[in-house]
């Protein structure tokens, strides 16, 4: 093989011949590079005025000759990006640096990402003579924070006496030993978070920090360990990579250093951006929408919820199936399949559309069943109170405290995905149905919002909304604005509501008083402390007094009876109204 890769334009014929001679050199396994190969390499680099490199196989044969520019060498595609666990590529890169620089970030990224045996740079003087050598190789990360590589140098060429075969053999044995003893973890278990913001937006840096905090909570809910976070503010987003190429390379190097497997972008990536980023890394690349969809897929319990999540995932994936990959395009055969036929990609897209139709039909049937349940409840003339608000504001905890229920309540985003209703009995046979709903979040994926819109039909019949806010969250004002916006989109803005600041025990008394004063109709409480909910129940009774009067029920309010200690009866908690409304 005598092909020369890279920047070959404008090379003199004599330089091309010098480069082709590199293929004739053989390198013993005991050496990183033989003196004869180094001399030819330096001569070619001097003549070309560019970096020149070779990929040497462990057999000693020169596998590739590459020409770069004066400061960089672009390696050709050498196949699958990752080698097997504990194994290297069986190729080492030896190349020149024209300005006497040591191993660059590009060198180290190639070393780790391509699992090369070793990377070696010969540092040249302005006259083209060798003044030193620098090399690096992959090393195991025994603990978090360890670099995944080690560099040696600069050395004089005469000092380069390392036995390459022994070095790489010992390293592979150590990697293999660690892979056998290391605890197996999820492939996507370690991630780096990335936010790219608009520099021209007011308070852009503070907004970026708030969004990254929320993205980290989403990742934690999805079972992902966050290894690092990166922010870049730009005047305009890069249409290919979203962020700058230099920042992307910095992130990739950090991912290799901390052994991260996934990049999670706070912004939603276009299909072309996701494809471009995936082409320069072997890491899994997902965006905010994919992360939220994954959380919903993990936590949906009811038939209704699972169908809604699957529908949202299919609608998100369909446009990305349009990114045609010729490698996946195979014609079908057999009778009726000859000729142009359908590509494999087209079959996948058609089946996805068919599945979307089936899911929408099943969800319409479940929607009809919900309407029938609501009609039965309406005939019984029982007022409905719906708890709404930003995710992880404490809505499920408040439902449990008010009704002695045991619905799932966790300190995670989207712990509740299925609407659940419980009966709360007031004195003198007055009662209400309290409904816990799916939490809101900023930039809720539109397909997910559309799929779960039917879930909020229960809320549309409510007589009163309890808008729960996490008082201790520094971004609470934005959470309120997001919830109000989504309530308007759901056509629920006209329903009377109370603003309830939850987790009030986590803020200073002065701040708590200022919150309540700043919103005249608001309350502050802790959903974990039943005593603090008395004022809320007073307000609920006051708001629903007219509704009870219509049913000829006595509007008196007996606090002692309301806070009785005994457990609710089985009939109260097992009534049809108490079942999850999502089926």
pLDDT tens for 149-166 read 889 988 998 888 889 999
Q: What is the C-alpha to C-alpha distance for residues 275 and 194, in angstroms, rounded to an integer? A: 16
Average pLDDT over every residue of 43-66 = 91
Check residue 346 and give its pLDDT: 62
Give the model confidence (pLDDT) of 446-483 as tens digits: 766 766 666 676 677 788 899 999 998 888 888 999 98
Average pLDDT over every residue of 102-108 = 87
For residue 262, which of 294, 238, 237 has the smallest C-alpha distance?
Answer: 294
pTM of the prediction?
A: 0.64
For residue 286, which of 249, 316, 309, 256 has the smallest C-alpha distance?
Answer: 316
Stated as kind and residue range, the H or E segment containing 193 is strand 190-198
- The encoded tokens of residue 202 equal 């007011």
Give the model confidence (pLDDT) of 321-373 as tens digits: 655 443 333 334 433 333 444 455 566 677 878 888 888 788 778 777 766 66
Side-by-side strand order, sheet with 225-234 = 225-234, 190-198, 262-265, 284-287
User: How far, in Å, are 55, 93, 150, 194, 312 from residue 132 at the CA level?
Assistant: 20, 16, 18, 38, 58
Q: What is the C-alpha to C-alpha distance for residues 117 and 479, in angstroms, rounded to an integer? A: 51
Give the model confidence (pLDDT) of 241-296 as tens digits: 888 888 888 888 888 777 788 899 998 888 888 888 887 777 888 888 888 888 87
For residue 74, which of 51, 100, 56, 94 has the smallest C-alpha distance?
Answer: 51
Q: What is the C-alpha to C-alpha distance for residues 346 and 335, in angstroms, rounded to an integer? A: 18
Give the model confidence (pLDDT) of 218-250 as tens digits: 888 888 888 889 999 988 888 888 888 888 888
pLDDT range class, residue 494, cuts 50, 70, 90 = confident
User: How far, in Å, are 136, 295, 302, 420, 567 from residue 292 at the CA level?
Assistant: 40, 5, 18, 21, 37
Higher local confidence (pLDDT), 319 or 24: 24
What the chain holds in terms of domains, given with CATH numbers, is 4-181 (no CATH), 190-295 (3.40.50.11060), 300-362 (no CATH), 380-578 (3.40.50.300)
In this model, does residue 83 exceed pLDDT 50?
no
Average pLDDT over every residue of 375-400 = 80
Length of the chain: 583
User: How far, in Å, are 41, 138, 157, 478 from residue 62 at the CA level?
Assistant: 12, 21, 20, 60
| Torsion from C-alpha of 128, 130, 131, 133, nearest 10 degrees | 130
Q: What is the C-alpha to C-alpha distance for residues 104 and 232, in angstroms, rounded to an integer? A: 22
3-state secondary structure of 247: helix
In this model, does residue 86 exceed pLDDT 60?
no
Check residue 375 and give its pLDDT: 65
Q: What is the C-alpha to C-alpha distance for residues 232 and 205, in angstroms, rounded to an integer? A: 9
The residues with which 387 forms a beta bridge, in sequence order, are 436, 466
């Amino acid at each position: 093989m005598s092909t020369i890769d890279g920047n070959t334009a404008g090379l003199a014929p004599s330089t091309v011949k010098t480069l082709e001679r590199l293929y004739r050199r053989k390198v013993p396994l005991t050496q990183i590079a033989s003196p004869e190969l180094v001399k030819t390499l330096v001569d070619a680099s001097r003549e070309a005025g560019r970096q020149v490199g070779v990929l040497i196989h462990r057999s000693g044969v020169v596998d590739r000759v590459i020409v770069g520019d004066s400061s960089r060498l672009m390696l050709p595609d050498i196949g699958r990006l990752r080698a097997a666990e504990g194994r290297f590529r069986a190729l080492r890169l030896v190349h020149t640096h024209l300005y006497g620089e040591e191993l660059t970030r590009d060198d180290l990224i190639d070393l780790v990402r391509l699992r090369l045996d070793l990377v070696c740079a010969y540092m040249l003087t302005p006259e083209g003579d060798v003044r030193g050598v620098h090399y690096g190789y992959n090393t195991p990360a025994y603990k978090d924070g360890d670099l995944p590589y080690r560099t040696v140098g600069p050395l004089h060429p005469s000092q380069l006496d390392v036995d390459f075969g022994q070095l790489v053999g010992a390293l592979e044995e150590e990697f293999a030993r660690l892979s056998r003893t290391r605890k197996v973890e999820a492939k996507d278990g370690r991630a780096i978070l990335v936010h790219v913001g608009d520099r021209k937006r007011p308070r852009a840096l503070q907004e970026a920090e708030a969004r990254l905090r929320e993205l980290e909570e989403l990742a934690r809910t999805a079972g992902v360990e966050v290894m690092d976070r990166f922010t870049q503010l730009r005047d305009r987003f890069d249409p290919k990579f979203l962020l700058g190429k230099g920042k992307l390379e910095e992130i990739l190097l950090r991912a290799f250093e901390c052994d991260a497997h996934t990049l999670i972008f706070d912004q939603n990536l276009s299909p072309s951006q996701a494809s471009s980023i995936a082409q320069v890394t072997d890491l899994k690349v997902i965006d905010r929408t994919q992360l939220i969809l994954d959380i919903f897929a993990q936590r949906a319990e009811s038939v209704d919820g699972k169908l809604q999540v699957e529908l949202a995932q299919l609608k998100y994936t369909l446009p990305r199936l349009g990114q045609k990959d010729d490698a996946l395009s195979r014609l079908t055969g057999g009778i009726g399949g000859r000729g142009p036929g359908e590509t494999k990609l087209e079959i996948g897209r058609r089946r996805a559309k068919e599945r979307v139709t089936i899911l929408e039909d099943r969800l319409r049937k479940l929607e009809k069943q919900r309407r029938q349940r609501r009609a039965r409840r309406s005939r019984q003339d029982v007022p409905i109170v719906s708890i709404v608000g930003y995710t992880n504001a404490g809505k499920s905890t408040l439902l449990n405290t008010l009704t002695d229920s045991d619905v799932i309540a966790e300190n995670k985003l989207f712990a509740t995905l299925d609407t659940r209703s419980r009966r709360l009995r007031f004195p003198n046979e007055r009662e209400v149905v309290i409904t816990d709903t799916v939490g809101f979040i900023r930039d809720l994926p539109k397909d997910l919002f559309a799929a779960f819109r039917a879930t909020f039909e229960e809320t549309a019949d409510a007589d009163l909304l309890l808008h729960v806010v996490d008082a201790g969250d520094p971004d609470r004002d934005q959470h309120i604005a997001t919830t109000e916006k989504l309530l308007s989109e759901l056509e629920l803005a006209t329903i009377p509501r109370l603003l309830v600041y939850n987790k009030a025990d986590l803020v200073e008394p002065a701040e708590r008083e200022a919150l309540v004063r700043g919103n005249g109709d608001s309350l502050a409480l802790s959903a974990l402390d039943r005593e603090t909910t008395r004022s809320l129940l007073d307000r609920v009774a006051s708001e629903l007094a007219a509704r009870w009067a219509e049913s000829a029920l006595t509007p008196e309010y007996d606090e002692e009876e309301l806070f009785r200690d005994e457990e609710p009866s089985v009939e109260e908690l097992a009534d049809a109204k108490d079942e999850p409304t999502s089926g």
